[in-house]
């Protein structure tokens, strides 16, 4: 609640929770995200002057700034087994905001502790290239690859959500 009682609200990112009964989103992990700012104010017989607070003086930009994100995917440890032989065939999927299609690592067969050593480049758009809090979180999902005749749907194993402010940022001019 403390995040929403500050009159100089910051932008936040939240994940949507789908209504699975509607059936438009089959996997809860694919519901999307929303960037917003929100403030709760105590009102005592007067209107709130939002323009008195810095956070509300300026409108958000209509055009976002493009940035390229490079994710270095090294390894996973102690993944749950998804196959009957006690192992998994994992791959990492990273959300790419540019075209809405995820980018994936190679699949490592029969391994619950896979080593990937891959680089994935993604295109993002942000409000302020110099403000890490304006970047959406980076979402990495791990799936078990299924290519069997009767079961060809990949199994969701795990998710990591990495906040941009926790990343090492290197800007190239």
DSSP 104-157: E----SS-SS-EEEEEEEEEEEES-TT-GGGSPPEEEEEEE----SS--SPEEE
- The pLDDT tens digits for 68-93 are 888 899 999 999 998 888 889 999 99
pLDDT of residue 131: 78
Q: State the pairing for strand pair 138-144/90-94.
A: antiparallel
In the chain the domains, ranked by start, together with CATH numbers, are 1-59 (no CATH), 61-173 (2.60.40.150)
pLDDT of residue 79: 92
CA atoms of 79 and 87, how far apart (whole Å): 8
What mean pLDDT, rounded, does the chain reach? 78
- The pLDDT tens digits for 35-57 are 666 777 666 766 767 777 777 77
> Consecutive sets of 10 residues in the chain, 173 residues long: mean pLDDT of each?
65 68 62 69 68 71 79 92 89 79 91 94 81 81 82 84 80 65
**Nearby residues of 23 by Cβ (< 8 Å), 6 or more positions away:** none
CA atoms of 81 and 84, how far apart (whole Å): 8
């Amino acid at each position: 609640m403390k995040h929403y009682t500050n009159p100089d609200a910051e932008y936040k990112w939240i994940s949507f929770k789908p209504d699975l009964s509607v059936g438009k989103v089959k996997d809860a992990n694919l519901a999307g995200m929303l960037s917003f700012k929100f403030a709760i104010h105590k009102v005592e017989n007067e209107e709130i002057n939002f323009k008195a607070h810095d956070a509300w003086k300026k409108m958000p930009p209509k055009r976002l700034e493009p940035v390229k994100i490079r994710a270095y995917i090294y390894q996973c440890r102690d993944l749950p087994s998804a196959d009957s032989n006690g192992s998994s065939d994992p791959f990492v999927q990273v959300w790419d905001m540019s075209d809405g299609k995820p980018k994936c690592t190679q699949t490592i067969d029969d391994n619950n502790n896979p080593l990937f050593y891959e680089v994935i480049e993604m295109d993002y758009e942000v409000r302020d290239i110099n403000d890490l809090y304006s970047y959406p979180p980076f979402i990495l999902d791990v799936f078990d690859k299924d290519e069997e005749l009767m079961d060809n749907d990949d199994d969701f194993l795990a998710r990591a959500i990495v906040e941009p402010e926790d990343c090492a940022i290197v800007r190239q001019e």
